Amino acid sequence: MSTVSAAIDRVAVTSPLSVLRLCCAEARPCVLVIFLLRFLTGAAMSGGRPDLVTAALVWEAAVFFVYLYNGVTDVHEDRFNGSGRPIASGLLSRGAAAWIAVSAAVSALVGGLLLGGPMAAAVPVLILLGLAYSGPPCYLKRRSGGAMVTVTVAGLLTYYMGEAAAVPTPKLLVLALVMSLWMGLVGATTKDLPDAAGDAAAGRQTIAVTRGDRRVRWLASVSAVALGVVFLVAAVVVAPELIWPAVIMLAGAAAVAVLALGDLSQGDRSRRRRPYRAFMITQYGVHLMAIFVSVV
């Protein structure tokens, strides 16, 4: 093992609170927050639910497990790509993160059973989806198709759990379908742009690895603009209250396309992440506006 690798593997933090904080960082706070916003959007667009706080915490525990477990299994490619996340940088041991992840999964499963109803069934599905995505025998993360399906299903489940009604309202159905596809077609592809080298080294067969950088950029751009247009048309025809969220998404889609196809996302890893950042910022804007128009 090289000196660099040895230094990376030397964990510097042992405080329980510090370990928990680093696990939260490893699970990607921006992702945890957007899942919470999806859940709250489902609740806001359906008039709320009496157990909203408890249900949201249980669902977030399941999401936390999924992304922390992903961090545990992604350490090889993360280190190859120079990621600054806690496990890859050596601040957090994989063993400690794995124990916290298992604890979160158990807590979510128990909470789902106590809440009952759809939550009791959906929490195990989300956890199994996370296991299938990151670990054996499926390793869905190794192919773009598997990643697209995983995040799309996870998104749909989240909106439905926020609403927890037998039949989603038309406006929520429109938003949930479009934004889940936004995750699957745009998020899953732009995320691969800065990580192609590490993915190839880890044996992944993503579109960026098998088809090349340029094809990924075109796929993300076309998908983003097409979904933006579809969302706006659907909002006008089916759910006029979603017009402003749809306008935000179309603007974000244009930003993704401009960044993906232009020179602003060429170069180092930080620059190549710009289309993904635009994708993520767009999600935040759409959901915050959807919540706002639902509660005012």
**123-144 pLDDT, tens digit each:** 999 999 999 999 999 999 888 8
**Termini Cα distance of the chain:** 59
d(CA 119, CA 160) in angstroms, rounded, equals: 10
Using DSSP's 3-state secondary structure scheme, residue 203 falls into: coil
Q: How far is the C-alpha of 80 from the C-alpha of 102, rounded, in Å?
A: 26
Which residues, other chains included, contact 1 with Cβ-Cβ below 8 Å and sequence gap of 6+? 9
Specify the length of the chain in residues: 296
pLDDT of residue 160: 92
Assess contact for 38 and 158: CB atoms under 8 A: yes
Q: Indicate the pLDDT class of residue 3, thresholds 50, 70 and 90.
A: very low
pLDDT in tens, 248-292: 999 999 999 999 999 998 888 889 899 999 999 999 999 999 999
Task: Give backbone dihedrals phi and psi of 49, rounded to 5 degrees, phi first.
Answer: -145, 145
Say how far apart CA 80 and CA 72 lie, in whole Å. 14
In a 10 Å sphere around its CB, with 0-12 CB exposed, 13-18 middle and 19+ buried, how is residue 286 labelled?
Answer: buried
